[in-house]
């Protein structure tokens, strides 16, 4: 088993991870255990947990519909009511078993119910394993605006079993790969290079890459848990990526993009902006774009849509005094935060994206 031990938010991965969870549960000895799933993780992942853990009392299952559309305060309300009706108290434990939607939602519900109960994340999607389940950011969307309401509060522990990836649809795997590419871009040229030939069929290499991403994410959130400085790097590609994701969520005629698919576009646009405003080389910018477009769908945006996406940037959580701040790249592994970008340059970046 690979592991990172911390006061809060320890991560355990593969090997005898279920034995570890059993020990943690025996130590915690919660009054009641709730397992939050969506309809897919209830179907594909719950059995695996129940087979591996000896619960003193059967855990109580909470299930919500799958998908970003349900990462809302209305879903939280339903869950708070369920917890209350089923007798949860401050010594109860919530296990979030699912992708990033479930770990974000479950972490927020647990952090706020009776001013906070413990929760454990068991991420089941690639994206949640390498990113969402680690670092304590939890929350919900406000309408289509991403993650506008939430808290930073670490899970008691994060339990990762890559076995779950076997049932994950391939576009969802690729969505997680976007966050791994982001880790390569912001942290390490070597990691980026190794990811270029990424192949999920190669299980040992995939497991190694997942662990590398977990270590990178953990290192960044440990030095800067509340995003004063270093943690902003993890927003690379997300300023525009979130606006694109929100735009597509809002417009039914536009295919809804998965989080990673929107971030993939955001990363291409942001590399172009980095080339224009900093020294990020044109060749690297082209390489990033072609690697990303080998794996992710190309989306057409009209001028009108681009204007609407730029409008949505005003809701970005990094904004201060009405200014929109971007995270840009000087080079692979070297970022600059708090960069102000003209709208004209954003439009040019979309023109560059169109040329691929
Ligand atoms: N908190 C953070 O730091 C952070 C970081 C990155 C992303 N996020 C958030 O994560 C969310 C995206 O996460 P996601 O991509 O995991 O989405 P998701 O949770 O919606 O999961 C994607 C789909 O895969 C299904 N699924 C999950 N595991 C499965 C499995 N093992 N087998 C079969 N189906 C499975 C889900 O039911 C869902 O339909 C977004 O809301 C994003 O904002 C949060
Ligand atoms: Zn993300």
The domain boundary residue, chosen from 168, 198, 224: 168
Ligand nearest to the CA of 133: 1
Centre a 10 Å sphere on the Cβ of residue 348 and count the other Cβ atoms it contains: 15
Element counts in the chain: helices (H) and strands (E): 14, 11
Give the DSSP H/E element, type plus range, for residue 97: strand 93-98
Residues 230 and 290 in one domain: yes
| Residue among 11, 121, 125 whose CB has most ligand 1 atoms within 8 A, to mutate | 125
| Predicted confidence (pLDDT) at residue 252 exceeds the cutoff of 80 | no
**Average pLDDT value over all residues in the chain:** 95
C-beta of 132 in contact with ligand 1 (< 6 A): yes
Q: Burial letters for 137-176: b for 16+ Cβ neighbours within 10 Å, e otherwise? A: bbbbbeebbbbeebebbbbbbbbbbbebbeebeeebbbbb
Residues 295 and 344 in one domain: yes
Residue span of the structural domain in which 278 resides: 171-354
Confidence of residue 320 (pLDDT cuts 50, 70, 90): confident
Residues 238 and 190 in one domain: yes
Residues 225 and 241 in one domain: yes
Residues 183 and 161 in one domain: no
Q: Please give the pLDDT value at position 254.
A: 78
Secondary-structure breakdown of the chain: helix, strand, coil percentages, each rounded to the nearest 5? 55, 20, 30
Distance 348 CA to ligand 1 centre (A): 31
Per-residue pLDDT reduced to its tens digit, 148-192: 999 999 999 999 999 999 999 999 999 999 999 999 999 999 999
| Predicted confidence (pLDDT) at residue 144 exceeds the cutoff of 90 | no
C-beta of 37 in contact with ligand 1 (< 6 A): no
Residues 243 and 254 in one domain: yes
The domain boundary residue, chosen from 113, 148, 168: 168
Confidence of residue 80 (pLDDT cuts 50, 70, 90): very high
| Predicted confidence (pLDDT) at residue 92 exceeds the cutoff of 80 | yes
Query: Which of 144 and 331 is assigned the larger pLDDT?
Result: 331
C-beta of 40 in contact with ligand 1 (< 6 A): yes
Torsion-angle region of 282 (φ positive above 0: left; ψ -120 to 50: alpha; else: beta): alpha
Distance 277 CA to ligand 2 centre (A): 23
User: Nearest residue CA, atom 5 of ligand 1?
Assistant: 132
| Predicted confidence (pLDDT) at residue 340 exceeds the cutoff of 80 | yes
Residues 16 and 126 in one domain: yes
Residues 199 and 338 in one domain: yes
Residues 164 and 215 in one domain: no
- Closest ligand 1 atom to residue 147 Cα is 43
Confidence of residue 323 (pLDDT cuts 50, 70, 90): confident
Report the SS3 class of residue 173. Answer: helix
User: Nearest residue CA, atom 13 of ligand 1?
Assistant: 100
Distance 102 CA to ligand 1 centre (A): 7
Residues 141 and 188 in one domain: no
C-beta of 41 in contact with ligand 1 (< 6 A): yes
- Closest ligand 1 atom to residue 139 Cα is 1
The domain boundary residue, chosen from 168, 186, 208: 168
What's the CA gap between 291 and 195, in Å, rounded? 10
Count up the domains in the chain and report the number. 2
C-beta of 152 in contact with ligand 1 (< 6 A): no
| Residue among 44, 76, 97, 132 whose CB has most ligand 1 atoms within 8 A, to mutate | 132
C-beta of 182 in contact with ligand 1 (< 6 A): no
State the CATH number of the domain containing residue 210.
1.20.1090.10
Centre a 10 Å sphere on the Cβ of residue 325 and count the other Cβ atoms it contains: 17
| Predicted confidence (pLDDT) at residue 239 exceeds the cutoff of 80 | yes
Q: What's the rounded mean pLDDT across residues 109-137?
A: 98
User: Nearest residue CA, atom 33 of ligand 1?
Assistant: 168
Ligand nearest to the CA of 130: 1
- Closest ligand 1 atom to residue 146 Cα is 43
What's the CA gap between 114 and 40, in Å, rounded? 28
| Predicted confidence (pLDDT) at residue 321 exceeds the cutoff of 80 | no
State the CATH number of the domain containing residue 161.
3.40.50.1970
| Predicted confidence (pLDDT) at residue 322 exceeds the cutoff of 80 | no
Least confident of 68-77, 137-146, 315-324: 315-324
What's the CA gap between 327 and 86, in Å, rounded? 44
C-beta of 235 in contact with ligand 1 (< 6 A): no
| Predicted confidence (pLDDT) at residue 290 exceeds the cutoff of 80 | yes
Residues 289 and 183 in one domain: yes
Residues 203 and 157 in one domain: no
Per-residue pLDDT reduced to its tens digit, 188-231: 999 999 999 888 788 889 999 999 999 999 999 999 999 999 99
Paired residues of 2 in beta bridges: 13
* Helix residue spans in 188-255 (DSSP H): 189-196, 203-223, 238-250
Distance 179 CA to ligand 2 centre (A): 6
């Amino acid at each position: 088993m690979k592991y990172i031990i911390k006061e809060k938010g320890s991560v355990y991965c593969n090997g005898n991870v279920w034995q570890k969870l059993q020990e943690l549960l025996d130590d915690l000895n919660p009054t009641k255990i709730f397992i939050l799933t969506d309809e897919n993780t209830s179907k594909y992942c719950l059995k695996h947990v129940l087979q591996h853990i000896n619960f003193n009392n059967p855990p109580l299952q909470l299930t919500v519909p799958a998908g970003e559309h349900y990462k809302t305060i209305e879903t939280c309300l339903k869950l708070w009511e369920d917890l209350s009706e089923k007798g949860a108290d401050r010594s109860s434990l919530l296990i979030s078993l699912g992708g990033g939607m479930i770990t974000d939602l479950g972490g927020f519900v647990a952090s706020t119910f009776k001013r906070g109960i413990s929760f454990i994340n068991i991420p089941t999607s690639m994206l949640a394993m390498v990113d969402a389940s680690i670092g304590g950011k939890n929350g919900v969307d406000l309408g289509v605006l991403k993650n506008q309401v939430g808290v930073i509060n670490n899970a008691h522990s994060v339990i990762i079993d890559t076995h779950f990836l076997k049932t994950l649809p391939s576009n969802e795997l690729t969505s997680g790969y976007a966050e791994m590419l982001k880790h390569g871009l912001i942290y390490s040229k070597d990691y980026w290079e190794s990811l270029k030939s990424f192949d999920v069929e190669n299980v040992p290499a995939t497991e190694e890459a997942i662990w590398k991403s977990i270590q990178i994410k953990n290192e960044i959130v440990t030095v800067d848990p509340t995003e004063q400085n270093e943690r902003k790097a993890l927003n690379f590609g997300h300023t525009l990526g979130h606006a694109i994701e929100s735009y597509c969520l809002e417009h039914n005629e536009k295919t809804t993009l998965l989080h990673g698919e929107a971030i993939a576009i955001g990363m291409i646009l942001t590399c172009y902006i980095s080339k224009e405003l900093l020294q990020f080389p044109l060749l690297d910018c082209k390489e990033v774009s072609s690697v990303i477009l080998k794996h992710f769908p190309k989306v057409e945006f009209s001028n009108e849509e681009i204007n609407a996406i730029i409008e949505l940037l005003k809701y970005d959580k990094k904004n201060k005094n009405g200014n929109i701040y971007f995270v840009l790249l000087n080079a692979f592994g070297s970022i600059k935060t708090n960069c102000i970008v003209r709208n004209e340059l954003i439009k040019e970046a979309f023109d560059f994206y169109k040329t691929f």
